[in-house]
Each structure stands twice: as C-alpha cells, then as structure tokens.
C-alpha cells in the first residue's frame, strides 16, 4: 500500500519519481567501554590517523581550508594527547580522542588573536573525521550515491548541499526547514524539486522506498501503486512541457504590452549559482547572499579570497549588475568558526549590519574586496537589516575609509559604485523616504519584512499559516516603499521570495516595482505574467487588491 503525505507550502517546484536515499544523522558521541588491551586501542587510533591524514593531504592540494586541517593532523600534540590518555589513564580510544580534541580546541578558543581562535573549529572538524574512522562511518553522507535518488534527511546545511552530486540527486525532502530557509533557497537555485519542513518524513520512509513527489503541489507518495505511478509520470511529462514553453521566453525582455520594462534578476549564493543563472539570460544578480561565502568556510574569508569570488561574479555577469549584500549573519545563520553568544531572540538580536559595524576589520575586508571587484564589472553594494540612518552613515564612513586606502595603494575600483539598502524592517518602511536620500537603490526583503511586520517567525512551522506576504500590511508596506523610492528618484527592487510568486507579479508590477530578483529557475514564470499584461491593467489590479483589508479577502480576490 502506498502512503501519502501532503505539505501546504512548496519549496522548489518540479516532479520526481525515484528511489529514496535516507541520510541518517550520524552520532559522533564517543562510546563508553572498558578496554581489554591498550595496544589495541593505540593501534585503532594509529590506523584511523593514517587514513585521515591521507584523505586530508589529498583534499589539501586544492583547498586552503584543508591545508589548515593538514597542519592540525600532522601536529604531534594531538597524537601524543590521545596516546597518553590511552596508556596513562586507560581510556578507550573514542573517549581519549574526544577529550583530546575538546582540550586542544579550548586552547585555541582562549587565544586573543581572532585567527587563532577560529582554528578551534578546524580542530573539531579533524576530530569528527577521526571519530568517523573509529566508528566505521563515512563523513560524506552522500558518498555512496551511484544511481538516481531522492534524498530524505532531517535537515541539510549549505555545506551538505555542496557535496551533492547533481548527476544522481534528483530531489530532496527534509523534516526541518521552511520555504524561506536556506535549504529551500539552495534547492531553487539548483532547480531541484524539493519539499522541506515535512513532518514525519524520516519515520515514514526507509532506504530504497520509491518516492513520487509533486513538489509544485506539495504531494508525496511513498511506494506508489501502478495507477499512482502512471499519474506521476503524466505529471512529469506535463511539467517538462510547461518548462519547455517557459524556456522559449528566455530570450525576451520582460516588457508589458504597453511597453513598461522591468528587470528580472537572479538571487545567488555562490559562483556555481551564478554560472547556472547567467545561462538563463538574466538582467543581472539582484542579490548575492555573501554570507554563503562565509558559511562555506572555516575562517572569515580574507579580502583576497573574497575578491577572487566577487571578481569572478562580475566577469560572469559581463557588465550586468551584481548586487553584493554585505554579510547577513546571525538570526538563523551561524558560522562554524565563530562563537555567537546565546540570545533569547536571535532574529531580534545581533545580526547583519549590526555585526559588520562592530567587527570592523571583517567589514572592511569585505568592502575592499567588493570595491576591488567593481573594477571588473557593474558591482553594487547592499546593506542588510537597516533600521536607522546612523547605520547607513556609519557604514558609508567605513566604505569611504576603504576607498581612501585603495586609492593610496593605487588599486582601481569604481568611484561611482552604487550603494543600496535592503528594506526588511518596519523601521525602514516607515522612514523609507528619508532613507531614500542616503542610498542609490532599495531592495525589499519580503522574507524578513513579512516576519517583522506580522511578528511571525519565518521558520516556525506552528504558525506558518500566519506567515503570508499577501497580508494587507505587507502589501501596504511594499506600496509605501516603492512610492518613497520613486519620489526620491531611486530604483526599487525586491529580492525576497515574494518576487518569485507568480500570483504577486501583477500586483508588484502595478505598484511600480522596477526589479524582481529571485532564483533563476523561477524567472520565466514571472516573465510570463509580465508579458501577458499591461502596466495600466496591472495598476488597476494592484489598487483593487489593496482595497482588501484582510488576508482572506486578498486571497479570495486572487482566486477570482
Ligand atoms: C529577505 O529577508 O527577504 C531576504 C532576501 O534576505 P534573507 O532571506 O537572506 O534573509
Ligand atoms: Mg533578510
């Protein structure tokens, strides 16, 4: 008998029928057992160490991250600490390793130097690799995938998704995560059908089950019968045909019937995303989530490391805009190498621009990298989570210092680089017209704006029904921000997920939005809406939608 699951919200559309590959969370806690021979424990450690050394040495050839790991594993300190715990204290190898790693990481963590402090995370990474060897488990959960599969997992991190082989992985379903969570965004960027936040998926699926998923509608069938298989094969065909039709729009500009053109740009997190996005004839990058560069790292990326990435981005976009958002960390996003203090309300806490303004060296390294990249294309800077004019003024002062230092060093950059801000807080909506005097462009971040306007945590499944960007308060905010921006003659874009909602396209167009930025895979869908309407018609439509003062009546109106 097949089993069905239905999810309300889609994460990344598409149809897939394939075998399930279940990723079990690996338990790396050390086992407690009494040892029978010290020699055996020592030799288990020496074996694990030799294999891990070999692996790391190979990885280190192409990566600075692993060069750091190499130094740690080659250092005699770790080796001697483990051996002495076995020989002198009669501890088993797993306990000995776990304690030694904790002690060495603590020493690094206590150091004053930021760089050395960050090495604590590397020590722990090396420890995890060794523990995997001792327990006989793989540290790459995707290593054994050699056929087409749908991944089933508790959760996936950005570094997990970097390990995924797209030749075989055809979709994924996770127990945790929301529509605007990083795992959803990554799925859309990769163009993989995915559903996240699926309650009970881990307990319902076992390895090798067949999964039929219509991620566009939120339907999952586990072990479908012949009729259901037939139905999903048909859906798959239809979806492919639809995608083909939409693909034909790719070379058209997004212009309404009466001639208003809007920009359709891509949201990206890394160079791979950009390489995929530029194939779709996009108008540029409306949001480069630079925090992905920091999250996929073992240390704060240096100016040089970032420069290489941003320069590549500028070159790939070949004169089209590349909007780089400065580090937007905190909230639900952490860094493996930086210890954030515990916060009662992280979304209302130390995040985004607040961190940049405090960790000034980190901020300057990023700004200089962006400035230097601006010599190679049309690069723009965007500040996240702004709530006050003072923040803009201070950030721009630091930017000016960076420019001055580059000038003094005779390093080229775009002297007229545009600087914009995200509108994603109630404060920035209310004071939008004033803010517009200080920046060159706005980009509305509806993911956070919706959460802060409605006071609904964007990742909380319990209240996910309340999280709705069609709420009149959010629509009114968008209207106000676009009007404020236009009054001060600056362009207003949107890079929150709402920009990719086909139901919202006509409203946003009618409200005067200049740029829509979204996962590249969604662009044609929105373009279709723009091509099929006129600006005049869209303005009327937007006015009518905004006459509705409850979410229900807005949703009813849209259905008509
Ligand atoms: C947003 O808040 O809408 C946004 C685009 O930023 P992020 O999703 O990265 O918070
Ligand atoms: Mg945001």
Q: 107 CA to middle of ligand 1, Å?
A: 36
33 belongs to a structural domain: no
Contacts with 553 (C-beta within 8 Å, 6 or more apart), sequence order: none
Residue 328 near ligand 1, beta carbon < 6 Å: yes
Q: What is the pLDDT of residues 446-505, one digit of tens each?
A: 999 999 999 999 878 788 889 999 999 999 999 999 999 999 999 999 999 999 999 999
What is this structure's pTM? 0.78
Instruction: Output the CA 445–ligand 1 centroid distance in Å.
Output: 5
Choosing from 290, 328, 478, 515 the residue with most ligand 1 atoms within 8 A of its CB, the one to mutate for a pocket test is: 328
Question: What is the pLDDT, as a whole number, of residue 159?
Answer: 59
CA distances from 209 to 1, 206, 223, 289, 397 (A): 12, 6, 6, 36, 58
Atom 8 of ligand 1, residue of closest alpha carbon: 447
Mutate to test the pocket of ligand 1, among 448, 454, 497, 500 (most ligand atoms within 8 A of CB): 448
- Across 12-26, 417-431, 467-481, least confident range: 12-26
Report the alpha-carbon distance of residue 31 to residue 219 in Å, rounded: 40
Name 169's bridge partners.
149
Q: Are 212 and 232 in contact (CB under 8 A)?
A: yes
Ligand 1 near 477 CB (within 6 A): no
| Mean pLDDT computed over 72-88 | 92
- Find out whether 516 and 526 touch, Cβ atoms under 8 Å: yes
Please work out whether the CB of residue 522 comes within 6 Å of at least one atom of ligand 1. Answer: no
Considering the domain boundaries, does residue 29 fall inside one?
no
How far is Cα of residue 108 from the mean position of the Cα atoms in its chain? 29
pLDDT, tens only, 241-268: 998 999 999 999 999 999 999 999 999 9
Are 228 and 314 contained in the same domain? no
More confident residue, 534 or 137: 534
Residue 306 CA to residue 321 CA, distance in Å, equals 18
- The residue to mutate among 445, 453, 516, 522, having the most atoms of ligand 1 within 8 angstroms of its beta carbon, is 445
Q: Is the pLDDT of residue 400 over 80?
A: yes
Q: Is the CB of 445 under 6 A from ligand 1?
A: yes
Q: What is the token pair recorded at 88? A: 């002198």
Query: Which distant-in-sequence residues (6+ apart) come within 8 Å of 498 by Cβ?
Result: 446, 447, 450, 469, 474, 504, 508
Ligand 1 center to residue 463 CA distance, Å?
19
Predicted confidence band of residue 64 (pLDDT cuts 50, 70, 90): low
Q: Which atom of ligand 1 is nearest to the CA of 328?
A: 9
Q: Is the pLDDT assigned to residue 52 strictly greater than 70?
A: yes
Cα–ligand 2 centroid distance for 468 (angstroms): 15
Is the pLDDT score of 62 beyond 60?
Answer: no
**What are the tens digits of pLDDT across the range 212-229?**
999 989 999 999 999 999
Structural domain count, the chain: 3
Whether residues 326 and 194 fall in one domain: no
Q: Residue 354: is its pLDDT beyond 90?
A: yes
CA R_g for the chain: 25
With bands split at pLDDT 50, 70 and 90, how would you rate the model's confidence at 93? very high
Check if 446 has its Cβ closer than 6 Å to any atom of ligand 1. yes
Task: Using pLDDT thresholds of 50, 70 and 90, give the confidence band for residue 197.
Answer: confident
Residue having the nearest C-alpha atom to atom 1 of ligand 1: 445
Q: Please say which residue of 222, 243, 264 terminates a domain.
A: 243
Q: Determine if ligand 1 sits within 6 Å of the CB of residue 269.
A: no
- Contact between 366 and 306 under an 8 Å Cβ cutoff? The reply is yes
43 plus 192 within the same structural domain = no
Residue 449 C-alpha to ligand 2 middle, in angstroms?
Answer: 8
DSSP type of residue 366? H
Nearest CA to ligand 1 atom 6: 445
pLDDT higher for 184 or 277? 277
- 3-state secondary structure (DSSP) of residue 516: strand
Provide the annotated active-site residues: 182, 495
User: Would residue 398 count as lying in a domain?
Assistant: yes
pLDDT given at position 481 = 98
* Whether the Cβ atoms of residue 458 and residue 178 lie closer than 8 Å to each other: yes
Ligand number with the minimum distance to the CA of 286: 1
Neighbours of ion ligand 2 (CB under 5 A): 424, 445, 448
CA of 443 to the centre of ligand 2 (A): 10
Domain of 51 in residue numbering reads as 38-135
Residue 321, φ and ψ in degrees, nearest 5: -60, 145
SS3 content of the chain, % helix, strand, coil (to 5): 50, 15, 35
395 — pLDDT class (breaks 50, 70, 90): very high
**450 CB under 6 A from ligand 1?**
no
CA of 448 to the centre of ligand 1 (A): 6
Residues 417 and 356 in one domain: yes
Q: Which residue has the higher pLDDT, 401 or 340?
A: 401
Task: Return the H-helix or E-strand segment holding 523.
Answer: helix 523-531
Can you tell me whether residue 444 is helix, strand or coil? strand
Q: What are the start-end ranges of the E strands in 362-514? A: 378-383, 418-423, 441-444, 491-494
Round to whole Å and give the CA distance between 313 and 421.
20
Strand partners, 516: 264, 494
- CA angle 360-365-370, nearest 5°? 125
The CB of 496 under 6 Å from ligand 1? The reply is: yes
User: What separation in Å is there between the alpha carbon of 404 and the centre of ligand 1?
Assistant: 31
* Same domain? 318 vs 466: yes
What spatial distance separates the first Cα and last Cα of the chain, rounded to whole Å?
38
Q: Answer yes or no: do 540 and 431 share one domain.
A: yes
What is the per-residue burial (b if ≥16 Cβ within 10 Å, else e) of 299-318?
bbbebeebbbbbbbbbebbe
The answer on 412 and 339 residing in a single domain is: yes
Q: Answer for the pair 148, 168: CB distance below 8 angstroms, yes or no.
A: yes
Q: What is the CATH number of the domain that holds 50?
A: 1.10.274.10
What mean pLDDT comes out for the span 15-21?
A: 96
* Greatest mean pLDDT range, 46-60, 71-85, 149-163: 71-85
Q: Is the shortest distance between the CB of 448 and ligand 1 below 6 Å?
A: yes
Across 414-434, average pLDDT: 98
66 shares a domain with 201: no
Q: What is the pLDDT of residues 143-185, one digit of tens each?
A: 889 999 999 998 876 657 767 888 999 999 998 876 666 677 7
Q: Beta strands of 86-184 (E only): which ranges?
A: 149-153, 169-174
Query: Last residue of some domain: 135, 163, 179?
Result: 135
Rounded-to-integer distance, Cα 42 and Cα 93, Å: 7
Same domain (yes/no): 422, 389:
yes
Nearest CA to ligand 1 atom 9: 289
- What average pLDDT score do residues 293-297 get? 88
pLDDT at residue 66 greater than cutoff 80: no
In a domain, 467, yes or no: yes
Distance CA 450, CA 11 (A): 17
Question: To which residue do tokens 């849209």 refer?
Answer: 558
Asked whether residue 42 falls in the same domain as residue 11, the answer is no
Of 243, 261, 290, which marks where a domain is finished?
A: 243
Q: Is 331 in the pocket of ligand 1 (CB under 6 A)?
A: no
pLDDT attached to residue 219: 94
Token pair in block for residue 323: 């909007």
SS3 for 258? coil
Q: Which uninterrupted H or E stretch holds 134?
A: helix 114-135
Report which ligand 1 atom has the smallest distance to the Cα of 448. 2
**CA-proximal residue: ligand 1, atom 4 (nearest):** 445
Higher-scoring residue by pLDDT: 259, 116: 259
> Is residue 427 situated within a structural domain?
yes
């Amino acid at each position: 008998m097949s089993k069905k699951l239905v999810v309300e919200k889609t994460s990344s559309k598409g149809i897939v029928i394939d075998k399930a590959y279940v990723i079990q969370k690996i338990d790396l806690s050390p086992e407690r057992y009494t040892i029978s021979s010290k020699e055996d424990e020592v030799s288990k450690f020496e074996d694990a160490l030799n294999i891990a050394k070999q692996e790391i040495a190979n990885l280190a050839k192409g990566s600075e991250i692993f060069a750091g790991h190499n130094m740690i594993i080659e250092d005699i300190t770790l080796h001697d600490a483990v051996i002495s715990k076995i020989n002198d204290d009669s501890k088993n190898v797993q306990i000995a390793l776990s304690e030694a790693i904790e002690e060495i990481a603590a020493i690094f963590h206590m150091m004053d130097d930021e760089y050395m402090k960050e090495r604590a995370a590397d020590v722990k990474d090396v420890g995890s690799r060794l523990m995997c060897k001792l327990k006989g488990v793989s540290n790459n959960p995707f290593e054994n995938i050699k056929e087409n599969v749908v991944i089933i997992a508790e959760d996936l991190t950005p570094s997990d998704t970097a390990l995924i082989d797209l030749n075989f992985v055809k979709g994924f379903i996770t127990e945790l995560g929301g529509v605007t969570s990083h795992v959803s965004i990554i799925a859309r960027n990769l163009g993989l059908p995915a559903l996240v936040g699926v309650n009970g998926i881990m307990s319902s699926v076992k390895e090798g089950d067949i999964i039929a998923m219509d991620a566009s509608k939120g339907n999952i069938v586990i072990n479908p019968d012949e009729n259901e298989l037939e139905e999903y094969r048909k859906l798959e065909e239809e979806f492919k045909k639809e995608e083909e039709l939409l693909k034909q729009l790719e070379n058209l500009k997004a212009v309404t019937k009466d001639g208003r053109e809007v920009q359709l740009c891509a949201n990206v997190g890394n160079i791979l995303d950009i390489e995929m996005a530029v194939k779709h004839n996009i108008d540029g990058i409306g949001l480069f989530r630079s925090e992905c560069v920091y999250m996929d790292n073992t240390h704060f990326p240096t100016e040089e490391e970032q420069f290489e990435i941003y320069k590549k981005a500028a070159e790939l976009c070949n004169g089209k805009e590349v909007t780089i958002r400065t580090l937007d960390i905190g909230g639900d996003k952490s860094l493996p190498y930086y210890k954030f203090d515990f916060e009662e309300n992280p979304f209302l806490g130390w995040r985004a621009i607040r961190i940049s303004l405090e960790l000034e060296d980190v901020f300057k390294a990023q700004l200089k990298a962006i400035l230097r990249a601006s010599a190679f294309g049309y690069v723009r800077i965007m500040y996240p989570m702004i709530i006050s004019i003072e923040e803009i003024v201070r950030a721009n002062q630091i930017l000016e210092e960076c420019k001055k230092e580059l000038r003094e060093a005779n390093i080229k950059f775009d002297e007229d680089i545009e600087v914009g801000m995200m509108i994603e807080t109630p404060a920035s909506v209310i004071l939008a017209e004033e803010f517009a005097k200080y920046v060159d462009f706005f980009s509305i971040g509806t993911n956070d704006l919706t959460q802060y306007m409605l006071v609904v945590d964007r990742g909380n499944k319990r209240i996910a029904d309340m999280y709705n960007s069609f709420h009149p308060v959010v629509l009114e905010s968008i209207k106000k921000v676009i009007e404020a921006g236009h009054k001060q003659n600056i362009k207003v874009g949107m890079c929150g997920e709402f920009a990719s909602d086909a139901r919202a396209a006509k409203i946003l167009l009618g409200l005067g939005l200049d740029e829509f930025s979204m996962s590249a895979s969604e662009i044609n869908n929105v373009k279709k809406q723009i091509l099929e309407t006129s600006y005049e018609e869209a303005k009327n439509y937007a006015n009518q939608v905004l006459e509705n003062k409850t979410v229900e009546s807005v949703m009813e109106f849209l259905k008509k």
